[in-house]
Structure 1
Amino acid sequence: MITYTTSKNDKDLQQILQLQKQNLAAGLTAEQIASQGFVTVMHSFEDLKKMNDIEAHVIAKDDDRVIAYLLAMTNQSRFDIPVLVAMFEMFEKISYQHKKIADYRYIVVGQVCVAEGYRGKGVFDTCYAAYSHNFKNKYEFAITEIATRNQRSIRAHKRVGFETIHEYTAPDGEEWSIVLWKW
């Protein structure tokens, strides 16, 4: 039976990291990336725990095994993961409804992943329902960035209700969409 909850202990965090490692773009074939999606950042246990101590990550578990996660990241963590600093800097430059993103109370979906075998079964959508339930009274919206070549993720986020508010090309040539979900 699948349950939706938040990460509560080191075992949950270790299982998030295991699922993350299995879905890193660097370890996948072009076909897997195109059909199944991918994650970009590999977090350290310490960074994941620091983020979780501020706001708990949303997870789906099948019995006692983490089969999906949505990381919760606040502005407090902006300097903890160097590769994401540029995203937070972008939030100081781009606007949503005539106001800089940085001037809102927002939560960043630090990363999303659903284990193979559980995709296409509503786990993604139910995780986001839990995410909204946990954070909608504290934050005005959820925001994240998705590599545009990750079309599976782009489509899934759009289905849940995210809208693209900005697109840019990073110095390494990767194209990104910044997407926002106004609860």
Structure 2
Amino acid sequence: MPPLCGRCIRQPPPFSASQAPLQYTFPIDALITRYKHRADLTVERALAPLLAETPLPWADTDAVCPLPVHWRRRWRRGFDQGDHLARLMGQYWQRPVLPALVRQRATASQQGLSRRQRQRNLRQAFHCQHPVAGLRLILVDDVMTTGSSARAAAQCLLDHGAEDVRVWTLARTLPPPLA
């Protein structure tokens, strides 16, 4: 098991594990931005060989659950990258996709917000619309920066009876190196 960061030791997240095959640094950050904000599916096609080779990280998983964007953001973008990635990974991992969560409140973009602002921004943002009691879920999203979205979504799923929630993201921002 990899070591925990200081924040996770002080405030353990509600999810039990997380994994990301890529670091959110150049050029991956530029590709994900194109994918996310311009619905550029050529990025997904370029990453498909890597994603197809990504093994199911937790064999006891019952379903894959996308971390959703609010319907207005989806409408503006024409795309929900979390939903798209969850469906793709569900297919590769041969697990059903359960769109259990909806973002019930339109939140400000998380980009540029501090950790505390992100947490405040996400209060009461998610609602569980499907039964999840007893299920072991993989919550899928594009990027994990501070983990605030994953924490809020995982807590919602656990509050509705999910047995376990783990998080898989395409990329992860790594903490700055210690000085």
Q: TM-score, normalised by structure 1?
A: 0.31
User: Greater share of strand residues, 1 or 2?
Assistant: 1
If asked which structure has higher relative contact order (CA below 8 Å, sep 6+), I would say 2
Calculate the TM-score normalised by the size of structure 2.
0.31
